[in-house]
Amino acid sequence: MRQRPIPGSSGLLRTMSLLGDPVLHTACEPVVEFGPVLDRLIEDMFATMYGAQGVGLAANQIGVGLQVFVYDCPDDEDVRHLGHIVNPRLVEVGGEEIRGPEGCLSLPGLEAPTVRHDRAVVEGVDAAGEPVRVVATGFFARCLQHECDHLAGAVYADRVTGLSARRLRRAIARAPWAGSVPSARA
Ligand code: NI
């Protein structure tokens, strides 16, 4: 029996798009072509996510405006969830609304309290075009909502309110990477 290769093991580390880069603030397009180019993108996304020690990554975070995200994320019971979803739709949210700390690889070094639902259901397809449905709770549900936001052209900072929003804005202005946005790569 052949073992499945570890996701990302043949992927390339790609440059992370940072807050202010237009690709992060634009809704992504649906994937219409399935095949080696998509497979390669997903591999690169896993490699880049692992390289940055993230738990989720959306395609526009590496500059590709397509509706794909990858994740390797624990839930609140420490169960690991690993996968990718192409053309995801957040079809259901429920449970309590929980204000918890959230960060993003596109705003490195920062986090802020962000309200998310405790339960989320995402439907889409996999790299082969086969339907997938992912039911998530706790931190994993937070991750899925965060990644769906990315594909809609939003970041968690857009959801932070009140004093936390002011604090986050100041922290962004002081961040070492702030001078690089909007990106010179655009
Ligand atoms: Ni993010």
- 25-58 confidence digits (pLDDT tens): 999 999 999 999 999 999 999 999 999 999 999 9
Q: Is 3 a member of any domain? A: no
pLDDT value of position 95: 96
Q: Is 98 a member of any domain? A: yes
Count of structural domains within the chain: 1
Q: Is 43 a member of any domain? A: yes
Which of the residues 33, 123, 130, 147 is marked catalytic?
147
pLDDT value of position 185: 36
CA distances (Å), origin 37, targets 32, 44, 45, 60: 11, 11, 12, 15
Q: Is 83 a member of any domain? A: yes
What is the value of pTM for the model shown? 0.94
pLDDT value of position 184: 36
Instruction: For residue range 4-31, list pLDDT tens digits in order.
Output: 778 999 999 999 999 999 999 999 999 9
Q: Is 147 a catalytic residue?
A: yes
**Residue stretches of the chain with pLDDT short of 50:** 183-186
pLDDT value of position 1: 62
- Give the count of beta carbons closer than 10 Å to the beta carbon of residue 36: 9
CA of 147 to the centre of ligand 1 (A): 6
Question: Token digits for 94?
Answer: 């429920």
CA of 103 to the centre of ligand 1 (A): 7
Domain that holds residue 122: 22-178
The length of the chain, given as a count of residues: 186
Task: Read off the CATH number of the domain in which 97 is found.
Answer: 3.90.45.10
Q: Is 33 a member of any domain? A: yes
Q: How far apart are CA 55 and CA 103, in angstroms?
A: 10
pLDDT value of position 119: 98
- Give the count of beta carbons closer than 10 Å to the beta carbon of residue 178: 14
CA of 106 to the centre of ligand 1 (A): 6
CA of 2 to the centre of ligand 1 (A): 34
Q: Is 185 a member of any domain? A: no
pLDDT value of position 158: 97
CA of 160 to the centre of ligand 1 (A): 14
Q: Is 17 a member of any domain? A: no
The residue assigned the tokens 């940072």 is 18
Q: Is 1 a member of any domain? A: no
